[in-house]
Amino acid sequence: MYVPSHFAENRPEVLHDLIRRHPLGILVTHGAAGLDANHLPFELSAAAGSLGILSGHVARANPVWQELADGAEVMVIFRAADAYISPNWYPSKHEQHRQVPTWNYVVAHAHGRVRIVDNERFVRGIVGRLTKAHEASQPVPWTMADSPREFIDGLLQAIVGIEIEITRLEGKAKLSQNKEARDVQGAVDGLKAAGKDDVAEAVQRGPR
């Protein structure tokens, strides 16, 4: 990933926070069939290993788990807020006409080594923890105990666990840091008017 120094975000704690808040990652692999990308929710164990461990699962019918050898290098992309930025939002544009469209976004790339875990106990644990985490905001959280055990057992047999030891973390927070203060505020105002409050807040706050 191309990362100009003013957009670089390499603090592990900040990138870990991004992963927790946006856990649907894009697992990028390179197997016998070439490049592949799978969209998967991940659990992050930040204290494990040197930079953390990502855990998840894939469908047994998905060939990705058979095409990967233990220890193979993979990358997982996590993306936070993003939005188009119009040059018309910059006050300086109307004076000098030297601004162009761009896109603001915040991403984290987790590089690591994968391990395939075809183990019912591991799979049951990761499904249970992911469910607990993402059902927590529901008025009545769903649990695996809400379904017949034989039904859940059958579904667990249809998935395979994966674990990725993170070996390198890199991030990019492109939030108008290279613009003068009045243009940054113009971007914030334009984003709010466009209904992109999450990106507007990120630009106003700046890199965390």
pLDDT (mean) for 5-15? 95
Is pLDDT of 173 > 90? yes
Question: What value does the CA radius of gyration of the chain take, rounded to a whole number of Å?
Answer: 20
Look at residue 40 and give its three-state secondary structure: strand
- Among 151, 163, 145, 159, smallest CA distance to 70 is for 163
**Half-sphere exposure (Cβ direction) of 7: Cα atoms closer than 13 Å:** 18
pLDDT at 96: 82
The share of the chain scoring above pLDDT 70, in percent, equals: 99
Instruction: Tell me if 43 sits within 8 A of 23, measured CB to CB.
Output: yes
pLDDT (mean) for 137-143? 95
The token duo for 45 is: 């164990």
Which contacts of 57-61 are long-range, i.e. CB under 8 A and separated by 24 or more positions?
A: 57/123, 57/126, 57/127, 57/159, 57/160, 57/161, 57/162, 58/159, 58/160, 58/162, 59/158, 59/159, 59/160, 60/157, 60/158, 60/159, 60/160, 61/158
The span from the CA of 44 to the CA of 19, in Å, is: 7
The span from the CA of 83 to the CA of 36, in Å, is: 26
Torsion angles phi and psi, residue 42, rounded to 5: -125, 150
**Tens of pLDDT, residues 29-46:** 998 889 999 999 999 999
Domains assigned to the chain: 5-201 (2.30.110.10)
pLDDT at 157: 97
The span from the CA of 130 to the CA of 43, in Å, is: 7
